[in-house]
Amino acid sequence: MSNIISITRPSVKQAKDEDSDDMDIDEELNLNDAKAKEIQDIVVPGELITDDPSWMRGHGTYYLGEKTYSAVAGVILRVNKLLSVIPFKGRYNPETGDHVVGRIVDVTNKRWKVDVGAEHDAVLMLGAVNLPGGVLRRKSETDELQMRSFLKEGDLLNAEVQSVFHDGSAALHTRSLRYGKLRNGIFVSIPSNLIIRAKNYAHDLPGGVSVIFGVNGYCWLYKTKLDNSPGVGPKSSLERKFEAGVKMDAANSAFSPGMGSDAPNKLEEKASWDIYSDKNDSISATTKETISRYRNSLLALSNFNVAVNETRLAKAYEISLGYGDVSELVKSDIQKSIAEDLINDEKMRG
C-alpha cells in the first residue's frame, strides 16, 4: 500500500524562526541546545521512556514487560532511580503539608467536605479545627449539631493538608491560627501548576493587601490585618504569641458570648469566635480597588501561563499601574503585555 497523503496548513512556527535570523549566533546556539533538551524531555501518552528495567516507575507512567511508557503529556522527572512524568496540566494532587485554600461544599457527619480543586473533595474533620473554648477542649455532641455555625456551605477557608488517603483524597486541618475562615477579600482560581513552591504562601503585598497562594491554585487576596489580633496573617507564630500575651488583659475585659463551654483561656475563646465570624471589616474604596488590581494582575499572569509568587505578583501589580484603570486589565492584549513585561523585566535583572 502506498503512503497516505495529508495536507495540513503551513505552520506559522517556521515563519517565526526565519524572522529571528538576526539573532546573535552564539545565543541562538545556546537557545537551541536548551530547547533540544526540553523537547527531549517532553513525552506524550504511549511514548517509550526507557526499556531499562532498573528504573522505578512513578506517577504518569505505565509499563509493559520491561518497558516503561508515559501515560500523560508532560516532562520527565528523574529522582535517583524513580522515573515519573509531570503532566503539563491536570488537577491538583494533594500532598501532606500543603497550604491550601478551599471552599466548603457539604456539612456531613462530624466533617466538612471541602472543594480544593482536586479529584476528590477533601475532608475537614470536626476534630481538626480550633473551636471556641481553647485548643484542648473536647468536642461534644452540641458541637456536632452546630457545625454550620462555624463553617457552612460556601465558606472559604485556608488549611493545611494533614494526610492523604490511598485514593488521593486529603484530610485537612486548621489547628493553627494561621489557618481558618477567610474574610475581607476576593477569591481567585488559577491552575495549580502555576504556583511556585515556597516556604511560605501567605504574604503582605505593597498597598495594604495580603495574599494567600494556595498550593492548589486557589488564591485569596485580602486587606492586610492592621490590628494585632491573632488571625490569618503572615506573621510568625512567635511574634503572635508575644502580642497575645500583651493583649491578655484587654481580651479578658472584652469577653464575647461564647458557646457555654467553660473555657480556661478566654483570649482563645474570643480569638476563635473571631475566626468564624462572617462579617467583613470595613474596607475603603481605595483598598478595594487595589485588591481588584491585584486580582486582575494575577489573572493576567495565569492567562499567559506565567508561574506566580509574591515577588512576581507585586511586580505585575507595579507594571499594571502603567496600563491605566483597573477595568482595562481584563483586556487580553493588556494582560499579554503585562505578562511579557514581567518576563522581560526578570530577564534584564538576570
73 vs 125, which CB is nearer to other proteins?
73
| 45: contact with other proteins by CB under 8 A | yes
Site for other proteins in 97-126 (CB under 8 A): 106, 119-121
Select the residue interacting with other proteins from 89, 148, 331, 336 (CB under 8 A).
89
Select the residue interacting with other proteins from 50, 58, 75, 341 (CB under 8 A).
75
Q: Residue 117's closest CA among 191, 22, 204?
A: 191
236 vs 305, which CB is nearer to other proteins?
305
Structural contact between residues 280 and 292, judged by C-beta atoms closer than 8 angstroms: no
262 vs 333, which CB is nearer to other proteins?
333
Structural contact between residues 157 and 116, judged by C-beta atoms closer than 8 angstroms: no
Select the residue interacting with other proteins from 49, 55, 57, 60 (CB under 8 A).
60
Q: How far is the CB of 109 from other proteins (least distance, A)?
A: 15
| 91: contact with other proteins by CB under 8 A | yes
Hey, is 142 helix, strand or coil? Answer: helix
Select the residue interacting with other proteins from 28, 50, 58, 73 (CB under 8 A).
73
Q: Which residue has the cell 500523560?
A: 72
43 vs 147, which CB is nearer to other proteins?
43
55 vs 276, which CB is nearer to other proteins?
55
Select the residue interacting with other proteins from 125, 186, 283, 343 (CB under 8 A).
343
Q: How far is the CB of 208 from other proteins (least distance, A)?
A: 29
Q: Residue 40's closest CA among 67, 89, 13, 78?
A: 78
Q: Which range binds other proteins by CB under 8 A, 4-12, 135-143, 238-246, 272-280?
A: 4-12
- The pairing of strands 170-173 and 122-125 is parallel
62 vs 242, which CB is nearer to other proteins?
62
Q: How far is the CB of 142 from other proteins (least distance, A)?
A: 28
Structural contact between residues 229 and 247, judged by C-beta atoms closer than 8 angstroms: yes
Distance from C-alpha of 74 to C-alpha of 86, rounded to nearest angstrom = 5
Distance from C-alpha of 46 to C-alpha of 322, rounded to nearest angstrom = 47
> Who contacts 103 (Cβ-Cβ below 8 Å, separation ≥6)?
114, 115, 154, 155, 156, 157, 187, 218
Binding-site string for other proteins from residue 173 to residue 192, where x marks contact by CB under 8 A and - marks none: ------------------x-
47 vs 239, which CB is nearer to other proteins?
47
Q: What is the CA radius of gyration of the chain?
A: 25
Q: Which residues pair with 50 in a beta bridge?
A: 68
306 vs 334, which CB is nearer to other proteins?
306
- The pairing of strands 218-223 and 67-70 is unpaired
Q: How far is the CB of 148 from other proteins (least distance, A)?
A: 19
**Host H or E run for residue 289:** helix 285-303
| 14: contact with other proteins by CB under 8 A | no
Q: Cα 319 to the chain's mean position, in Å?
A: 22
93 vs 228, which CB is nearer to other proteins?
93
Q: Which range binds other proteins by CB under 8 A, 87-95, 155-163, 174-182, 198-206?
A: 87-95
Q: Which residue has the cell 462572617?
A: 278
Structural contact between residues 170 and 220, judged by C-beta atoms closer than 8 angstroms: no
Binding-site string for other proteins from residue 277 to residue 316, where x marks contact by CB under 8 A and - marks none: --------------------------xxxxx---------
Position 39, amino acid: I
Select the residue interacting with other proteins from 49, 57, 71, 276 (CB under 8 A).
71
Distance from C-alpha of 212 to C-alpha of 216, rounded to nearest angstrom = 11
- The pairing of strands 180-181 and 156-164 is antiparallel
Q: Output the nine-digit C-alpha cell for 212.
A: 494567600
**What secondary structure letter does DSSP report for 328?**
G
User: Footprint of other proteins on this chain (CB under 8 A)?
Assistant: 1-9, 13, 35, 38-39, 42, 44-46, 60, 62, 69, 71-75, 87-91, 106, 119-121, 167, 191, 194, 303-307, 343
